Structure 1
Amino acid sequence: MTALVKTDGIRKELAAMLGPLAEQTIEAARSAGKTLDAAVLFGSAAGPGFVPGKSDVNIFMAFDSVDVALLNALRPVFDRWMKKLRARPVVADRAFISGSADVFPMEFLEWKERAVAFYGDNPVENIPVSLENLRMEIEVNLRGKRLRLIQAALEIGSKPAKFQPFLESTLSTFATIFRNILRLAGSPAAGAGDPDSVIAGVESLAGFKLSTFRELAAMKKSKTKAPAGKLETVFQSYLTELDSLTEFVDKMEVGG
């Protein structure tokens, strides 16, 4: 492993993979006339909630600039590692990073607070995030997810074998949104690694239960199929809880 790759705070099995990945990425970038500035492990892979073989290995990579030549050079490297990573790295350049904190505050906070740089320095570490911009992006995401849920109901709602997995697949995105609601409120629960603690933190903050989110999470974990006719009830409750949460975020008062 190259001495340039930092492994402090990274699980051993991931460190063994990230070293070669960084080296191959550096070489690929060099072949395209570009430079890898930093590579950052983020999300569950950077904390205690990581489950080997099941959790995605989320990586954010920053380059001096990004163009088609770089993407063509990176593609075979990322393809080679997809089976182990389970998710393609997020690729950005200096210009994007310096100008995007106002529109991607949720992502920047994930890259800052649930992250470990394994090559270079975290490029978003010292970029400030506006709390009002964060509140707005949270609301945009909640309202956008409602539209997507309704669209999915129209497309596959009559097919439980497809609709239930879709509903369960939305939970990971909501977990990120929930953490950022807690960040917005300055709650220490935002740093919790397990979803139950995050949901409990939002319930305590908002003053109402998110029982359907918990029910879906339990069904996903136990691989339980909803009984005939039950899925429609679950979906309606999911929308109702989502609406309540959206209204709560819409009325949150923040400073900065």
Structure 2
Amino acid sequence: MARASMSLDELVRQLQQVHGDALRAVVLYGSAASGEQVVGHSDFNVLVIVSSIELAQTRQLGQTMRAWQEAGNPPVLVLTEPEWLRSADIFPMEYADILERHRVLHGTLSLTDLVVALHDLRWQTEQEAMGKLLRLRRGVMVAGTDTARQTDLLRSSYSALLVIFRAVLRLHGVTPARDATRVIQDVAARCGFDAAPFMAVSALVRGTALAPGATESVLAGYLSGMDTLVTYLDQFTPPPAAPAVISPVQS
């Protein structure tokens, strides 16, 4: 039975029960895979590889997936083996994160001949950054002058923002630091925006409240920085030293 506080182990068990021998791999990727997550605020990003999937199996997992998302996690990414091996051009940001840092929870993850092309990553990064900016603007309109809602908007946006920031560094041929604050500072320096509002949100996620009366200014700086980032990416040309592809990190 699924529960709202579902653990990774329980998720794997329920996937095994439903998919049986068709379950090829369950993989944790992103910050949680390398121990960088902030307890209570970081997502558990999970990739599931199966040999095949039927509608009946998808339905069986409904309660499990609802419980997983109710626990604050993003939807599980489920791919068949052929889809996994041919979709790096469709999900380059996600694949770059997986290739760089992942932990296999069950089965075996095939990385043979898998690469992320820089030009694919460049287009998705710009698209995701623009989408994030538009969602932030909508969130600001909904929050209005409600400080609590503004703070929740900043806090809830942080994890997805770091995914974009890491992709920006990879576009420059740079492997992102494990420390999120270093990632923020590096991206801000390269793209020409003020890191301070993003650093304040990073501290907020880690339990340090914003200074009294500072929420409006942090939010304004946050939006301004994202606007600058989108403009930067629209005009971006990879540096000569940047590789054409991103390959799996060898352990």
Q: If the TM-score is normalised by the length of the shorter chain, which range does it land in?
A: 0.7 to 0.9
Q: Which residue of 1 aligns with 2:115?
A: 128
Report the Cα distance in structure 1 between the residues aligned to 2:144 and 2:85, rounded to whole angstroms: 41
- Kept in 2: contact 1:38–1:63 (CA 8 A): yes
For 1:9-158, list aligned pairs within 5 A. 21-30=11-20, 35-51=22-38, 55-78=42-65, 86=73, 88-123=75-110, 126-158=113-145
Q: 1:182 to 1:225 in 2, by over 3 A?
A: closer
User: Structure 1 residues 97, 222: CA separation in 2 closer, same or farther (over 3 Å shift)?
Assistant: same
Higher relative contact order (CA 8 A, sep 6+): 2
**Is the CA contact 1:41–1:117 (under 8 Å) kept in the aligned structure 2?**
yes
1:240 aligns with 2:227: no
Q: Is 1:142–1:242's contact at 8 Å kept on the other side of the alignment?
A: yes
TM-score (norm 1): 0.78
Deviation by residue 1:120-147 (Cα, 9 ceiling, x = unmatched):
3224563221101101111111111111
Following TM superposition, by how much is the alpha carbon of 1:44 offset from its aligned partner in structure 2, in angstroms? 1.9
Residue in structure 1 matching 2:202, options 205, 217, 231: 217
**How far did residue 75 of structure 1 move?**
3.2
Q: Which residue of 1 aligns with 2:168?
A: 181
TM-score (norm 2): 0.80
C-alpha change, 1:243 and 1:36, in structure 2 (3 Å) is same
Offset at 1:53?
Answer: 5.5
- Report if aligned partners of 2:42, 2:159 keep a CA contact under 8 Å in 1: no
Any idea what SS the aligned residue of 2:61 has? helix
Tell me what 2:249 maps to.
none
5+ residue gaps, structure 1, are 1-16
Contact 1:58–1:85 (CA under 8 A) maintained in structure 2: no
For the residue of structure 2 that corresponds to 1:252, the secondary structure is: coil
Q: CA deviation at 1:181?
A: 0.9
Partner of 1:196: 181
| SS, match of residue 253 in structure 1 | coil
> Who is 2:236 aligned against?
252
Q: Share of identical aligned residues, percent?
A: 30
| 2-structure distance, mates of 1:207, 1:233 | 18
Moved over 4 A (4+): 17-21, 51-54, 76-88
Name the Cα RMSD after superposition: 2.8
CA contact (8 A) 1:39 1:117 kept: yes
Look up the SS of the partner of 1:40 in the other structure. strand
Residue 140 of structure 1 aligns to a residue whose secondary structure is: helix
